[in-house]
Amino acid sequence: MRVLITGGAGFIGTALANRLVELGHQVRVLDDLSAGDPSRLHQDVLFNRGDVRDRPKLWTILHNIDCVFHLAARVSVPESILYPREYNDVNVGGTVSVMEAMRDVGVKRVVLASSGTVYGEQPAQPVKESFRPNPRAPYAVSKIAAEYYVFTLGQLYGIETVALRIFNAYGPYQPLPPSHAPVIPLFMRQVLTGGSVVIFGDGRQTRDFVYIDDVVDALVAAALAPDVDRQIINVGSGQEVSVRELVRHIERVTRRKANVIENAGQDGGVSRLVADITLAHQKLGFTPKVDIEAGLRLLLELDPRFRQLR
Ligand code: NAD
């Protein structure tokens, strides 16, 4: 395949680009580097710096492409509450631009990176794709809108479309921004450096943490699978882990004691969230290979930021 990955210099995009090159595919990346870093991309990846809303640029870069992985997005839930317009512009407007440009150039398939956060609080767990989304923040709204645009425009323009609702991805090189950092790299660093691990809410809230290699397996399968047009597919580990349990896993893997501070007054987010991955298994042959403790071990071994603190 000849593929374009938008947002391909980011955490998931880089892992995907490098895997596709290893598998023998030709890979182009478009990323504005607002969050990404192209330095870890395999040398055979053709990197282009640019904005996903720049259609003339898309026309050039989409030439001869078989499949687009649309990953470019603003990705912070708390930030989206402060800047909803920005999230709408990039995540929704960017998706519409990509679909329009794909129509203009004649590209036939797109895989959209959507998110498990669209489910919000649900009466039952694990969550199935048929559940009604219950978004709590502009980020989740932007992902639902992107799904609708991709499916609707795809049908109108004759483009095959599939949306993967990715749950909490983690793994080596995940960015650790100074504010709103993802919980796994943040807690790992705090435990390794003897800093405080701050738990919001009661710590019993659960999440589905899915290792990056498993996410990449699902993305690659979605580009090749025969029977996925207009499907929404959950991509998680299927394993429900509370924030307190996560801390214990990190303690075991690092063989250090966490210095836990409880901040019960701060909202800890939805009470439970775990993916039903039956459909991913059926449609993509997806079976997660890395459970939480194995994933944390890999993170500790493979991420230089943590390896040197062991
Ligand atoms: P990331 O921030 O590392 O990657 C996003 C990339 O998009 C960055 O490299 C950024 O520079 C680029 N980008 C942002 N705005 C752009 C624009 N206007 N034009 C071009 N490039 C732009 O985040 P990630 O974790 O790798 O997420 C990738 C995708 O997967 C996103 O769509 C995200 O919503 C989705 N997702 C991620 C997770 C997760 O747990 N990491 C979970 C669910 C869904």
Pocket flag, ligand 1, residue 235 (CB < 6 Å):
no
Class of residue 94 by CB neighbours under 10 A (exposed 0-12, middle 13-18, buried 19+): buried
Q: Is-cis flag, bond preceding 175, omega within 30?
A: no
170 is catalytic: no
What pTM did the predictor assign?
0.98
* Single-letter amino acid, residue 129: E
Q: How far is the CA of 50 from the centre of ligand 1 (A)?
A: 14
Q: How far is the CA of 85 from the centre of ligand 1 (A)?
A: 17
Residue whose CA lies nearest to ligand 1 atom number 1: 10
Atom of ligand 1 nearest to the CA of 72: 7
The helix, strand and coil proportions of the chain, stated in percent and rounded to the nearest 5, come to 45, 20, 40
Q: Among candidates 252, 223, 209, which has minimal Cα distance to 161?
A: 223
Is-contact 252 292, C-beta < 8 A?
A: no
In angstroms, the CA 47 to CA 59 distance is 15
pLDDT by residue for the chain (310 residues), tens only, comes to: 999 999 999 999 999 999 999 999 999 999 999 999 999 999 999 999 999 999 999 999 999 999 999 999 999 999 999 999 999 999 999 999 999 999 999 999 999 999 999 999 999 999 999 999 999 999 999 999 999 999 999 999 999 999 999 999 999 999 999 888 999 999 999 999 999 999 999 999 999 999 999 999 999 999 999 999 999 999 999 999 999 999 999 999 999 999 999 998 888 899 999 999 999 999 999 999 999 999 999 999 999 999 999 8
